[in-house]
Amino acid sequence: MNQMRAVIAGGTSGIGLEIAKHLMGQGCQVIVSGRNADKLGRALKELGDGAVGFLADLSTVAGQKEWLSQCDRELAGQPLDFLVHCAAVYYAKPLAEEDSESIQAAFQTNVVSAMVLAQGLYPKLKQGRGKSALFISSTLSLKPIPGSGTYSASKAALDSVVSSLALEWASEGIRVNSIQPGVIDTPIHDPRNPGEPSRHEKMTQMGPFHPLGRVGRVEEVARAAVFLLAPESNWITGVKWPVDGGISLV
User: Band of the pLDDT at 194, cuts 50, 70, 90?
Assistant: confident
pLDDT at 40 over 70: yes
Q: The sheet that has 240-243: what strands, in order across it?
A: 51-55, 29-34, 5-9, 82-85, 132-136, 175-181, 240-243
pLDDT at 163: 98
pLDDT at 61 over 90: yes
Cβ-contact 187, 13 below 8 angstroms: yes
pLDDT at 224 over 70: yes
Query: pLDDT digit string (tens) for 121-167?
Result: 999 999 999 999 999 999 999 999 999 999 999 999 999 999 999 99
- Stretch (H or E) spanning 6: strand 5-9
Distance between CA atoms of 205 and 214, rounded to whole angstroms?
9
Query: pLDDT digit string (tens) for 156-170?
Result: 999 999 999 999 999
Domains of the chain: 5-249 (3.40.50.720)
User: Band of the pLDDT at 193, cuts 50, 70, 90?
Assistant: confident
pLDDT at 2: 52
Read off the DSSP letter of residue 64.
H
Supply the pTM of this predicted model: 0.95
Average pLDDT of the chain to the nearest whole number: 95
pLDDT at 17 over 90: yes
- Range 78-105 average pLDDT: 94
Distance between CA atoms of 225 and 6, rounded to whole angstroms?
12
pLDDT at 46: 97
The set of residues, in sequence order, having a beta carbon less than 8 Å from that of 212 and lying 6+ positions away, is 245, 246
User: Band of the pLDDT at 91, cuts 50, 70, 90?
Assistant: confident
- Stretch (H or E) spanning 123: helix 113-127
- Range 26-43 average pLDDT: 96
pLDDT at 192: 82
pLDDT at 172 over 90: yes
Query: pLDDT digit string (tens) for 196-219?
Result: 899 999 999 999 999 999 999 999
pLDDT at 11: 97
Cβ-contact 11, 84 below 8 angstroms: yes
pLDDT at 1 over 50: no
